[in-house]
């Protein structure tokens, strides 16, 4: 059925048009009308993203202004890249970049394989009661507050009553003030991070292993393959796409070193090895009131993280045919 408007032109109803005749906006309107319940459920998440992730981007211009809280963002004058020049002439910021890269690289090399190994180990456990108990124990640190984790670490390495120094004194050696020694900060911090997050991170790889076709293992058993051979030839190659995706995400978060844990564990005596970009931003912005310099440091951090994600994704897509996009 068609309608005739006042000019005498025949107007075809939207519903009677073929898919090829619909414009982009008409197709979008049809989809919204058809699945409006789903979009209604999605609305809170979209609003949250807009309010808490996209709206704050308006404040990034502080990095290019001589910002004053009394004049506001609009009233503050533009200074261009002056704050970035200040940052790269600041020895503390250069030290923070160096420490961030060192801690992130060591954490990536040492910490990333641990969840994969845990997932493979859990998958090989036959006794289900022992398997569930072990998984619960390993997952538990993830759900403990960073403040409590830091308290446990401080208590464990206490020079007077900590379990570590108690053992050292039992061997006849003098106690070591671990948390005031710069050379010990990185091993303690990285070890604590692995202990706290490795178990929970293994869930993703366990899910990937659960998706492996069981017939592959059955065929391997018929061929006389050992458990080690099945792990190397079936399990690891099957979850390799998941490993690559998680590696890309991990590389993108390399500069996002655990801010809370470092704040709780470091002190001026360990700044040499412990001060990272996020703690530098905290001291400059919150404690020092230099919001424009802190914003410039944060923008630099975000841009480098974006470049890392793009680079890692491009390399993965080129050499493994697996990527985020």
Beta bridge partners of 3: 11
How would residue 208 be classed by pLDDT, with cut points 50, 70 and 90?
Answer: very high
* Residues 295-305: tens digit of each pLDDT: 999 899 889 98
Residue 6 pLDDT more than 90?
no
Q: Between 299 and 17, whose confidence is greater?
A: 299
* Residues 38-55: tens digit of each pLDDT: 889 999 999 999 999 889
DSSP structure string for 42-73: HHHHHHHHIIIIIGGGGGGGGGGB---TTTHH
Is 308 within a domain?
Answer: yes
Picking from 289, 279, 255, the residue whose alpha carbon sits closest to that of residue 62 is 289
How would residue 105 be classed by pLDDT, with cut points 50, 70 and 90?
Answer: very high
Containing structural domain, residue 95: 85-320
Residue 4 belongs to what H/E stretch? Answer: strand 3-4
Q: What is the pTM of this model?
A: 0.81
Q: Between 12 and 53, whose confidence is greater?
A: 53
**The pLDDT of residue 20:** 60
Mean pLDDT of 243-255: 87
The rounded mean pLDDT for the chain is 87
How would residue 157 be classed by pLDDT, with cut points 50, 70 and 90?
Answer: very high
Mean pLDDT of 227-242: 91
DSSP structure string for 116-134: HHHHHHHHH---HHHHHHH
The total number of structural domains in the chain stands at: 1
Is 173 within a domain?
Answer: yes
CATH number at residue 307: 1.10.3720.10
Residue count (the chain): 325
* Residues 61-73: tens digit of each pLDDT: 999 999 988 888 8
Q: Between 65 and 18, whose confidence is greater?
A: 65
Picking from 203, 273, 268, the residue whose alpha carbon sits closest to that of residue 242 is 203
Beta bridge partners of 10: 4
Residue 15 pLDDT more than 90?
no
Residue 13 pLDDT more than 70?
no
Is 301 within a domain?
Answer: yes
**The pLDDT of residue 121:** 93
Is 110 within a domain?
Answer: yes
**The pLDDT of residue 324:** 74
Helix (H, G, I), strand (E, B) or coil at 238: helix
94's CB contacts (< 8 A; 6+ apart) are: 88
């Amino acid at each position: 059925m068609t309608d005739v408007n006042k000019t005498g032109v025949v107007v075809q109803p939207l519903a009677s048009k073929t898919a090829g005749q619909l414009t982009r906006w008409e197709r979008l309107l049809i989809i919204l009308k058809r699945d409006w319940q789903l979009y209604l459920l999605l609305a809170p998440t979209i609003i949250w993203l807009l309010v808490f992730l996209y709206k704050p981007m308006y404040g990034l211009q502080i990095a290019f202004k001589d910002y004053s809280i009394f004049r506001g963002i609009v009233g503050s004058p533009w200074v261009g890249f002056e704050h970035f020049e200040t940052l790269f002439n600041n020895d503390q910021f250069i030290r923070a970049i160096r420490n961030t890269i060192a801690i992130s690289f060591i954490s990536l090399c040492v910490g990333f394989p641990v969840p994969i190994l845990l997932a493979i180990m859990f998958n090989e456990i036959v006794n289900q009661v022992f398997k569930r108990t072990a998984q619960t124990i390993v997952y538990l640190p993830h759900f403990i507050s960073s403040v409590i984790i830091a308290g446990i670490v401080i208590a464990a390495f206490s020079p007077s009553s900590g379990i570590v120094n108690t053992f050292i004194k039992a061997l006849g050696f003098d106690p070591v003030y671990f948390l005031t020694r710069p050379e010990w900060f990185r091993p303690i911090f990285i070890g604590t991070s692995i202990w706290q997050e490795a178990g929970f991170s293994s869930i993703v790889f366990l899910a990937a292993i659960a998706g492996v076709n069981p017939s592959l293992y059955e065929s391997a058993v018929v061929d006389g393959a050992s458990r080690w051979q099945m792990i190397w030839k079936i399990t690891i190659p099957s979850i390799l796409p998941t490993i690559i995706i998680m590696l890309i995400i991990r590389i993108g978060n390399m500069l996002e070193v655990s801010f809370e844990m470092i704040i709780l564990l470091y002190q001026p005596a360990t700044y040499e090895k412990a001060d990272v970009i996020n703690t530098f931003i905290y001291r400059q912005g919150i404690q020092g009131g230099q919001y424009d310099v802190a914003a410039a440091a944060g923008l630099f951090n975000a841009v480098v993280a974006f470049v890392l994600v793009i680079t890692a994704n491009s390399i993965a897509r080129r050499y493994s045919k697996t990527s985020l996009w």
